[in-house]
Structure formats: structure tokens, C-alpha cells
Amino acid sequence: MKKILLLFVFLLLLSNTYSQKIYAWWDVGLKTSYGLTGLINTKLFDDKIYEHNLSAGYGIGGKFGFYFGLFNGITVDFMLSGNKQKFDYTFDNTQGYIHSLKWNNYDLAVLYRMQKDGVYLELGPQISFLRKVTNEDSRPGSINGDVSSNFTDKYFSGIFGVGGYILNYETFTLMAGFRLGYGFTDLVNATGKENNFPTPSQQDRTRASSDVSTNPAFVQIVLEANLALGYYGRTSCSKRASIFSFD
């Protein structure tokens, strides 16, 4: 019994010797997203001639995370995204047509992330740089093609996300979650309002809708694969903190 007790004490001391206090750590990751995208214009929502269809978009990019302690950190995401809003509408109350707007971005988000017990929560701002906006309208004589000059060069959004681990193996984690984004900037610029965007085929009706903001939004599923790079901390046998890798 005495030998067993001594062995237990020895193992406990050995564990404490090699225990570590982590002050900060960092990781990198690849991520992709897919889900609903659209444009929110309050007057168009109230206009019975226009019907908003469910439209899908995507994103693909990477992430760098810097964490303070074990659970709280800041992540920087860079994504290439494609977005779409599709409408059905009638013209002169006689025939139905299909109209869609597609816009592609470079998205840069700086988010606070709390990551604990296999679950994460994220919140923060995003700036999106418009690469191209394409208008597609099935009514003969409509504007089609690149209409980027009618839209703002960049816009700001608020991001909220939640998710958790699918797989956690040594320094590799695979996560899935939901992310919501809402743009606070009017996507249509002054030139676009003069040209009756976001719905140029309905000039009289669009003049009424263009005096309110047209805001992009999305709700998407996000898949994220991360690799932990290292941490800043110290072992209990050292008085100085050092940078360690996760080898």
C-alpha cells in the first residue's frame, strides 16, 4: 500500500512538472460557405408586382486566428464570395419576367471569437470590396451584363456566427456552423439610383424604391478546417514564457 501511495505522489509531481500555462496561441484555416443571399429593400418587399425568390451564394477563403489564453481570440477571414438576388415580376400587369442581380466580392472580416467546450461564437465587422455586378433580365430590351458602375465600391456588414467541432485530432480541427451577415451600406450608388436600380425595368416603380437603402444580407453554412501553429506559454518548471510549436 505504501509503495502504491509513493508511486501516485511521484506521478502527480511529474505531471505538475510538465504542466503548461498558455498565454496565447494561433491557428490558420481554410473555409468555405454556402447558403442564402439576397437584397433587402423595404419598398420592394411591399411591392406586390415583385416577388423575391430564394437565392443562393457561396464563399471560399482562409482564416488566421490569434487567441488570448485558451478560449478568447480574434480571427481575420479573407473570402471570395458570390451573391445573388432573383426576382419574378410582371410588366404592365400582363406578363411575368425573371430578373436577377449577381455581385462578387472580396470580403475581409475581423471577428471576436469565443471557443470553448467544442463550441464557438463569433461577432464583428466585415468590409466587402465589390469586384463585379451583373444584371440579368428576361424582358426584351432590358439592361443585361456588367452594371458595376451603378453600385458602391465597398460596403460594411455586421457578422454573427455560431458552430462547433466535427473533428478534433491533435493540432487539426474540422468545424461547421452558421453565419449571418447584414450590410449596413446602401449597395446602390447615386448613379444607380438615377438609372433606377435595383430594378431598372420598372422605372416608375423603381423611382419609389430607390429612395430607400438596398442592403445585402446572407445566411450560410460555414465549413472550416484549422491547423494549430503554436502557442506562447511556460511550463511550471520555467519562470520564463517561450514560444512553442505544437509538434
Give the pTM.
0.83
Residue range(s) defining the domain that contains residue 90: 19-245
107 is a domain residue: yes
CATH, residue 27:
2.40.160.20
Q: What is the DSSP string of the chain?
A: -HHHHHHHHHHHHHHHHT-EEEEEEEEEEEEEEEEEEEEE-HHHHH-TTEEEEPEEEEEEEEEEEEEETTTEEEEEEEEEEEEEEEEEEEETTTEEEEEEEEEEEEEEEEEEEEEETTEEEEEEEEEEEEEEEEEEE-STT---EE-GGGB-SEEEEEEEEEEEEEEEETTEEEEEEEEEEEE-S-SB-HHHHHTTTT-TT-HHHHHHHTTS--EEEEEEEEEEEEEEEEEEEEETT-SS-EEEE--
95 is a domain residue: yes
| pLDDT for the residue 140 | 85
| pLDDT for the residue 199 | 84
10 is a domain residue: no
Determine if residue 117 is left, alpha or beta; phi over 0 gives left, psi from -120 to 50 gives alpha, anything else beta. Answer: left
9 is a domain residue: no
84 is a domain residue: yes
Q: Span 224-240, mean pLDDT?
A: 73
Distance of CA 188 to the CA centre of its chain: 21
CA-only gyration radius of the chain, Å: 25
pLDDT one-digit tens code per residue, 156-187: 999 999 999 999 888 899 999 999 999 999 99
Q: Span 211-223, mean pLDDT?
A: 94
162 is a domain residue: yes
| pLDDT for the residue 48 | 80
67 is a domain residue: yes
pLDDT one-digit tens code per residue, 114-129: 999 889 999 999 999 9
pLDDT-derived band of residue 14, with 50, 70 and 90 as boundaries? very low
